[in-house]
Amino acid sequence: MKFLIFAIVYPIIWITSRLPMSILYLKSDVSFFILYYLIGYRKKVVTSNLKAAFPDKTEKEIKSISKKFFQHFTDLIFESIKSFSISEKEIKKRYQYTNTEIIDKLTKEGKNIALVGSHQANWEWAFGLPLFVDISCLGAYTKIQNKYFEKVIYNSRIRFGYNGCPTGLFNNQLQERFKTKQQSLYMLLSDQSPMPIKTRHWATFLNNFVPVHTGAETIAKKFNLAVVNINTTKIKRGYYTSDLQLITTSPNDFENYDLTEKYLKITEAHIAKQPEFYLWSHKRFKHKGKYDDWLKLKKKTK
């Protein structure tokens, strides 16, 4: 059944990916109309997230951000499809980086790097990073259950030298690279909402006290990685710039979770500049109010 689904769907995706961006954005406009006006796909979730994140904004402002988000969301879907066939020339034109000299300097110093970012603007096209820096790049991703789709998606991401690794195998891959002394940059998106049972730390993120991922900090401290933040800004439709900002070259100088807190503050500030381009379609604050339950659970498991 999985192969049958792949055999039917993939040719459509492949053909679609070959279309010019102008045509893809026309398709995006149609998809936006269907999702937003006819289906109402996750509109309640997006509105709820925005109200929780920006309690001072008016209903009119929330509605405006929500609508712009869905317009961007459908663009992102078709930009992701374009990833299957986008050329090196086009990815360089549409997705650029500032301050890459930070990576260059750390690379020359022999440093391994944790590149921390968020689901802002377009994170899918970040697989073009190896075209701009001279260091092996490895990123964690969620593996797709359909092995046929998994293979073609993986192959599309590694075309420009980017290395992908399923989340469950990421730590093993990282340790193997250190054993073989392979200098690397590890890309980690750490703004998702973890399950309380798996979390070690709670923090205020976007005006809500919630469990947060601390994996990037843990890895940085364990392997003494330089930590660099990546913030992506949407310049105009189909064009992005990712700004690189050095957070620290000495992660172990930070008290526990201070590095995570600093990352969250940087991420919040960037989201506030372009809130319509953040990924609001998932329940960002679903564990809000469960801190006391988490404390009880933590005491039981000690």
Q: pLDDT 10s digit of each residue in the chain, 302 long? A: 888 888 888 899 999 999 999 999 999 999 999 999 999 999 999 999 999 999 999 999 999 999 999 999 999 999 999 999 999 999 999 999 999 999 999 999 999 999 999 999 999 999 999 999 999 999 988 888 888 878 888 888 888 999 988 888 888 999 999 999 999 999 999 898 888 888 999 999 999 999 999 999 999 999 999 999 999 999 999 999 999 999 999 999 999 999 999 999 999 999 999 999 999 999 999 999 999 889 888 777 66
Q: Does 261 fall in a domain?
A: yes
Q: Please tell me the distance from the alpha carbon of residue 298 to that of residue 202, in angstroms, as a whole number.
A: 13
Whole domain around residue 114: which residue ranges? 2-280+295-301
Q: Does 94 fall in a domain?
A: yes
How many separate domains does the chain show?
1
Task: Compute and round to an integer the Cα radius of gyration of the chain.
Answer: 20
Q: Please tell me the distance from the alpha carbon of residue 33 to that of residue 298, in angstroms, as a whole number.
A: 46
Neighbours of 287 (CB within 10 A): 20
Q: φ, ψ for residue 53 (rounded to 5)?
A: -75, -35
CB 269 within 8 Å of CB 233:
no
Q: Does 289 fall in a domain?
A: no
Q: Does 287 fall in a domain?
A: no
Q: Does 43 fall in a domain?
A: yes
Q: Does 20 fall in a domain?
A: yes
Q: Please tell me the distance from the alpha carbon of residue 159 to that of residue 85, in angstroms, as a whole number.
A: 10
Amino acid type, 63: K
Q: Please tell me the distance from the alpha carbon of residue 56 to that of residue 174, in angstroms, as a whole number.
A: 42
Q: Does 224 fall in a domain?
A: yes
Starting from the edge strand earliest in sequence, which strands make up the sheet with 162-166, in order? 95-98, 239-248, 226-236, 113-117, 184-189, 136-141, 162-166
CB 232 within 8 Å of CB 250:
no
Q: What is the pLDDT of residue 302?
A: 60
| Structure confidence by residue, pLDDT tens digits, 42-62 | 999 999 999 999 999 999 999
Amino acid type, 162: Y
Q: Which long-range contacts (CB under 8 A, 24 or more apart) does 101-106 make?
A: 102/228, 102/244, 102/245, 102/246, 103/133, 103/135, 103/185, 103/228, 103/244, 104/133, 104/134, 106/226, 106/228, 106/246, 106/249
Q: Does 26 fall in a domain?
A: yes
Q: Please tell me the distance from the alpha carbon of residue 241 to that of residue 94, in angstroms, as a whole number.
A: 8
What is residue 212's DSSP assignment?
Answer: E
Q: Please tell me the distance from the alpha carbon of residue 301 to that of residue 292, in angstroms, as a whole number.
A: 14
| Structure confidence by residue, pLDDT tens digits, 150-198 | 888 888 888 899 998 888 888 899 999 999 999 999 999 989 888 888 8
CB 119 within 8 Å of CB 191:
yes
CB 72 within 8 Å of CB 7:
no
